[in-house]
Structure 1
Amino acid sequence: MLDAAIQVADRGGAAAITMRRVAQELGVEAMSLYHHVPNKDAILDGVVDAVFAAIKLPSADCDDWREAIRERAYSARAVLSRHSWALGLMDSRRNPGLATLRHHNAVLGVLREAGFALPTAAHAISLIDSYISGYVLQEVNLPMTTPEDVEEVAGGILEHLPADELPYLREMIVDHALRPGYDHTNEFGYGLDLILDALEARRK
């Protein structure tokens, strides 16, 4: 049932998850779902838990806390890019499932075992998760996914850009975005490393 609800949301967003549509996905009557779940909220709780379960759990036994958090961040980005509709649900549910709780506990465990004070660990989790969510939200709405797309979009902007009025923007496009080998998806790792560097400086 949860797989069916996720498929519905992947096509139409979180708002598309209704008892009727999930039942249609399964090829059954909507009333039959009530034999398995009490209401729509239970399905929403379940799909959020399933999304968390798909994100790689970091290990508190890892010798390098940065690598553990980095791997988890890349995994979260990949999962949420496939299910971006979950971004609006993940922090809104009042009845988190076991996978969700295990996930939060594992991330907290990595930071605490690395020597972060509890308040700093809490700040770190908020900062990292906000960065991942914001990046994914931006990424899924960008009008480009490949270097060819970047060249087309940036070239189109450059064509109509008043260079005398906007010299720094022109410089960014010509000397950065349109340079051979530029890949805008690498920005995620750059930003993540900046965050991890800053957190390392406050680890105590």
Structure 2
Amino acid sequence: MGRPHKPLLDRVRITTTALELVDEQGDFSVPQIARRLGVQTASVYHHVDGRDGIVELLRERICAAIDGGTLDGRPWDAAVAAWARSYRAAFAAHPKAIPLLTTSPVRAPRVLEQYEKAVALLLDAGFALPDVMPVIIALENLVLGSALDMAAPEAMWELADDTATPRLARALAAFPEGGRTDTAFELALAGYLTHIRGMPDGA
């Protein structure tokens, strides 16, 4: 019998399977990946650097959907806004991966390259070096929180008795149907940008 033309196992298939598991249940294990692929657990370890290695492959896969080219744009605040929207969309596609990735250090080279570009953009815009990482981290908090919110029900408040919370009832009635998460995200992003525009040296 000849050898199969296509490898039974590779990093792409491992990453795809791990992401399927995360999308389904919020986590994965190497034995689960092996079972789904019909191979021995040890075979998976031949291709990846353990669980941590798979987490970084997941990070690379999800972050590949972020348009890093937005960071080449000018003016700098428009570039930050475009990056934030692309970043949010990438993680909104896989919200259950957010807790997994935000509790593990970033090591993936391609992902670190985007951070390098973000740092360069802010430094070129005149931000003081000690301010750069807080600005990026604050943006990530905004983006990832909104990506999680996109997985929530459109109607997050269920009022059994309007008279008990009349002001809340009126506020909810005045809020347009649909677009709840987008409206809130754009409001938060605008406030964030307004604040950081005053931070660069000479601003």
TM-score bracket for this pair, using the shorter chain length = 0.7 to 0.9
What amino acid is aligned across from residue 8 of structure 1 in structure 2? L
Q: Report the equivalent of 1:187.
A: 184
TM-score by length of 1: 0.80
What amino acid is aligned across from residue 176 of structure 1 in structure 2? F
The superposition leaves residues 100-124 of structure 1 with CA deviations (integer Å, 9 ceiling, x where unpaired) of: 2112112112211222111222221
What amino acid is aligned across from residue 198 of structure 1 in structure 2? H
The superposition leaves residues 29-71 of structure 1 with CA deviations (integer Å, 9 ceiling, x where unpaired) of: 2221122124222212221232223222145542211221112
| Residues 82, 38 of structure 1: alpha-carbon distance in 2 compared, 3 angstrom cutoff | same
Match of 1:92 among 72, 97, 103: 103
1:166 equivalent in alignment to 2:179: no
- Name the SS of the counterpart of 2:150 in structure 1: helix
What amino acid is aligned across from residue 161 of structure 1 in structure 2? D
Report the alpha carbon displacement of residue 94 of structure 1 after superposing the two structures with TM.
3.9
Structure 1, 89-98 or 2-11: larger mean CA deviation: 89-98
Please tell me whether the aligned partners of residues 58 and 106 of structure 1 are also in contact (alpha carbons under 8 angstroms): no
What amino acid is aligned across from residue 138 of structure 2 in structure 1? L
| Ranges of 4+ aligned residues in structure 1 off by more than 6 Å | none
The correspondence of residues 74-153 of structure 1 with structure 2, limited to 5 A, is: 74-94=85-105, 96-140=107-151, 142-144=152-154, 150=155
| Residues 124, 33 of structure 1: alpha-carbon distance in 2 compared, 3 angstrom cutoff | same
Report the alpha carbon displacement of residue 138 of structure 1 after superposing the two structures with TM.
2.7
Please tell me whether the aligned partners of residues 55 and 101 of structure 2 are also in contact (alpha carbons under 8 angstroms): no
The superposition leaves residues 115-135 of structure 1 with CA deviations (integer Å, 9 ceiling, x where unpaired) of: 211122222111111111222
Q: Distance in 2 between matches of 1:62 and 1:143?
A: 34
Q: Which runs of 5+ in 1 are unaligned?
A: 145-149
Q: Distance in 2 between matches of 1:59 and 1:136?
A: 19
Q: How many residues align?
A: 187
| Residues 59, 134 of structure 1: alpha-carbon distance in 2 compared, 3 angstrom cutoff | closer
What amino acid is aligned across from residue 98 of structure 1 in structure 2? P
- Name the SS of the counterpart of 1:115 in structure 2: coil
Match of 1:46 among 57, 62, 71: 57
Please tell me whether the aligned partners of residues 58 and 107 of structure 1 are also in contact (alpha carbons under 8 angstroms): no
What amino acid is aligned across from residue 153 of structure 2 in structure 1? P
Q: Alignment identity in percent?
A: 24
CA RMSD of aligned residues (A): 2.2
Q: Report the equivalent of 2:194.
A: 197
Report the alpha carbon displacement of residue 177 of structure 1 after superposing the two structures with TM.
4.1
Q: Distance in 2 between matches of 1:60 and 1:174?
A: 39
What amino acid is aligned across from residue 114 of structure 2 in structure 1? H
Structure 1, 83-92 or 184-193: larger mean CA deviation: 83-92
Q: Report the equivalent of 1:4.
A: 17
The superposition leaves residues 114-172 of structure 1 with CA deviations (integer Å, 9 ceiling, x where unpaired) of: 221112222211111111122222332x222xxxxx4xx76x62x6211xx53421221
What amino acid is aligned across from residue 79 of structure 2 in structure 1? A
1:72 equivalent in alignment to 2:83: yes
